[in-house]
Structure 1
Amino acid sequence: MSAGTGTAAGAGLDVDALARWMDAEGLAGEGERPALDRLSGGSQNELYALDRGGVRTVLRMPPPSAAASRVDGLRRELRLVRALKGTDVPHAELAGGDETGDVLGMPFYVMAAVDGWCPADSRSWPAPFDVDVEARRGLAFELVDGIAKLSRVDWRARGLEGFGRPENFHERQVDRWLAFLGAYRFRELPGLDEAAEWLRRNRPVHWEPGIMHGDYQFANVMYSHGAPGRLAAIIDWEMTTIGDPLLDLGWALLGWVGEDPEPDALSYIDLGGMPKRAELLAHYERVSGRSTADIDYYLVLANWKLGVVLEKSYAAFVHGEPVDPKVEAFGPMVLQLIGTAADLARSLPGKGN
């Protein structure tokens, strides 16, 4: 996230009301008006840096034009970060939040500012990870470490009962995402049905529900500056639910179809020099206490599902809807993801093969 040029007044925020709320929450700088600066980097929500009492925090809220679904999504995020407060999961810890919208006209929450960097923003490894391959390996272990810690949070004890529907999670996946695709499908996607049938036949028999980020990858984490690599925060919780955390592991390993990562498997970062898949699976098992015996299923599902999700944005681009021009790159990417899912399914032994 980087500072923008907008002002709080221009955005229409009631800074005095915000200051009173911060006082009531016991946040630093009692009696002071916070200095606000609009940040770039929020796609679904607006972000503001707050400086008050020598403490820097970040405010996150939907824009005034947000649909009801977006507002409800922010409330879900607030519920989640409340549940994570005090855990060992790296995240921007909650300072306070308002679900009602009474303070600023929209629900919002304030979180600790994270001093770090995101691989998707830099598009290359910063020093020393650009040349120190051993240090770069540590970034992958840290990535897996974060999702392993998230998977072991006692979500029921943390008040997240009803946050998702873990019952029949895997039974719903294929039909749900095929229905999602059916709303905008405009071209053939080779391998789609073959991978879907394999997924139906090879669902995990035993799995344990947990908090699932939903889009876990290098693009949605931040690292502390310098070496050794240390995960500073998991970010972008919009798709989080209670489901199967091992799907997050499959998502994180999208570049590792085999033991060695494909250096250009991710469009935004080079995976050259990263650990072997077996090393990362062993680390995940040690930290999470979960078995990764069915990882191939999760890799097929992750590739297949991401292809379906990205196809929606590509369809909007093809039909001339106002989207980021970079979405054009999703066209071949979708075909590669679904093709990878089908190729992997063909190569694997399965219950129905």
Structure 2
Amino acid sequence: MIDVERLADWLDESALPGKGEPVEQRYVSGGAQNEIYEIRRGELHCALRIPPPTAPAARDAGILREWRITEALNGTDVPHTEAIAVCTDTAVLGRTFYLMEFVDGWSPMSTTGGRGWPEPFDTDLTARAQLAYQLAEGAALLGRVDWRAQGLDDLGRPEGFHERQVDRWTRYLERVKGRELPGFDEASAWLRGHRPLDYVPGLMHGDYQFANVMFRHGGPARLAAVVDWEMGTVGDPKLDLAWMLRGWPEDTGAPEAATASYVDLFGMPSRQQLIQHYAEVSGRQVDDMDYYDVLAQWKLAIVLEQGFQRAGDNEKLQAFGPMVLQLMKSAADLAESTAYGK
């Protein structure tokens, strides 16, 4: 729990609402990366995001990075949590933290555990399909943000983004490598030999999926906020779309679609329908999505391999083992079969 007396003093110094009134806190969620608390004090109702005490010192810089993106989204049409205030004085709560709007909504992970949907999306398939369209629309709106005008010129290194991907993630894999990954060489070579048809830099989330968004309560489907900006950068926004569509079933009307992913995708729009919706909202061409699909699966396989290699007795991380092999095989198979670039 956080020190509410120290927090109250800082809130007073920051001239935020509720001066002199007691601070109420509620732990919402957290993990190795960050913790979230609901804070109430008079008219102030917000969420506080802070690294846990045991997190590496670098997480403070990560929190500031998240804050920059959250603050930059204020005034844009991207559904997000409004930025309120940031504190870099570790004498207050021991770590850098920031305050953001507390969203009245639901997460596909926290309300359903990834299985099933709340009303009306549990039985109304037309309404359920709109959840996916809203998810794709959120990615499209994010890619339209004028990141330069929002003060994010130095957030990433957009120049040479695609030229760096294979070398960067190959070096990453070499540091954690404990086994051969069939398909890695083939997919890597294909990525080196291909590039997108065009590359328009933009703001990207880096881990865009159902797990990192919130929706408004009730129907119709309304995206309330894109959250968890640890991987946010200026790069290629279409990679967010490919990341979102990893493992999307070919036939969402088949019973298997209910268990094809960590959320129930039965009754959802087809992959092509979502890509087309993204194109209409974003204004970007999508004829080169095969390239992004290969990159997304190849990259995720490498990221998960790190978890598998340090799994020990952790059953959740051990489960990454076969997932990595399937993702890398899928990336290599797609690279071999696609007509893109031929």
* TM-score under structure 2 length normalisation: 0.92
Counterpart-to-counterpart distance in 1, 2:84 and 2:47: 9
Counterpart-to-counterpart distance in 2, 1:118 and 1:37: 17
Superposed displacement of residue 187, structure 1: 1.6
Counterpart-to-counterpart distance in 2, 1:211 and 1:265: 31
Amino acid in the other structure paired with 1:314: F
Larger deviation, residues 66-75 vs 253-262 = 253-262
Amino acid in the other structure paired with 2:75: G
Which 4+ stretches in 1 moved above 6 angstroms?
none
CA distance 1:266–1:92, shift in 2 (3 Å): farther
CA distance 1:260–1:341, shift in 2 (3 Å): farther
Counterpart-to-counterpart distance in 2, 1:93 and 1:251: 25
Counterpart-to-counterpart distance in 1, 2:296 and 2:122: 28
Of residues 24, 45, 49, the one that matches 1:35 is 24
Of residues 29, 35, 46, the one that matches 2:35 is 46
Amino acid in the other structure paired with 1:61: I
Superposed displacement of residue 72, structure 1: 1.0
Deviation readout 1:252-295 (Å, 9 max, x if unpaired): 11123757697267542121211122221221112111111111
Matched, 1:335 2:322: no
CA distance 1:209–1:259, shift in 2 (3 Å): farther
Counterpart-to-counterpart distance in 2, 1:278 and 1:309: 26
Deviation readout 1:202-237 (Å, 9 max, x if unpaired): 111421111110000111111112111111111111
Q: Tell me the residue number matched to 2:101.
A: 112
Amino acid in the other structure paired with 2:248: W
Q: Tell me the residue number matched to 1:76.
A: 65
Q: Tell me the residue number matched to 1:97.
A: 86
Amino acid in the other structure paired with 1:74: I
For residues 56-75 of structure 1, the aligned pairs below 5 Å read: 56-75=45-64
For the residue of structure 1 that corresponds to 2:90, the secondary structure is coil
Amino acid in the other structure paired with 1:297: Y
Matched, 1:198 2:187: no
Q: Tell me the residue number matched to 1:223.
A: 215
CA distance 1:266–1:248, shift in 2 (3 Å): farther
* TM-score under structure 1 length normalisation: 0.90
Counterpart-to-counterpart distance in 1, 2:306 and 2:264: 26
Superposed displacement of residue 40, structure 1: 2.5
Counterpart-to-counterpart distance in 1, 2:238 and 2:19: 44
Q: Tell me the residue number matched to 1:168.
A: 160
CA distance 1:260–1:342, shift in 2 (3 Å): farther
Amino acid in the other structure paired with 1:283: H
Of residues 49, 74, 78, the one that matches 1:85 is 74
Larger deviation, residues 18-27 vs 295-304 = 18-27
Of residues 130, 139, 145, the one that matches 1:153 is 145
CA contact (8 A) 1:259 1:278 kept: no
Counterpart-to-counterpart distance in 2, 1:100 and 1:87: 29
CA contact (8 A) 1:23 1:31 kept: yes
Matched, 1:294 2:283: no
Q: How many residues align?
A: 337
User: Aligned-pair RMSD on alpha carbons?
Assistant: 2.0
Superposed displacement of residue 57, structure 1: 1.1
Superposed displacement of residue 172, structure 1: 0.6
For the residue of structure 2 that corresponds to 1:183, the secondary structure is helix
CA contact (8 A) 1:251 1:299 kept: yes
For the residue of structure 2 that corresponds to 1:48, the secondary structure is strand
Q: Tell me the residue number matched to 1:3.
A: none
CA distance 1:128–1:39, shift in 2 (3 Å): same
Superposed displacement of residue 99, structure 1: 2.9
For the residue of structure 2 that corresponds to 1:254, the secondary structure is coil
Counterpart-to-counterpart distance in 2, 1:264 and 1:183: 36
CA contact (8 A) 1:95 1:111 kept: yes
Matched, 1:189 2:181: yes
Deviation readout 1:41-68 (Å, 9 max, x if unpaired): 3441122211111442111111223222
Amino acid in the other structure paired with 1:206: D
**Structure 2 residue runs without a partner (length 5+):** none
Deviation readout 1:95-115 (Å, 9 max, x if unpaired): 111234353332110111112
Counterpart-to-counterpart distance in 1, 2:16 and 2:260: 40
Deviation readout 1:293-318 (Å, 9 max, x if unpaired): 1111001111111111011001111x
Amino acid in the other structure paired with 1:67: P
Amino acid in the other structure paired with 1:340: S
Superposed displacement of residue 22, structure 1: 2.0
Counterpart-to-counterpart distance in 2, 1:60 and 1:141: 28
Superposed displacement of residue 132, structure 1: 1.5
Amino acid in the other structure paired with 1:133: L
CA contact (8 A) 1:60 1:108 kept: yes
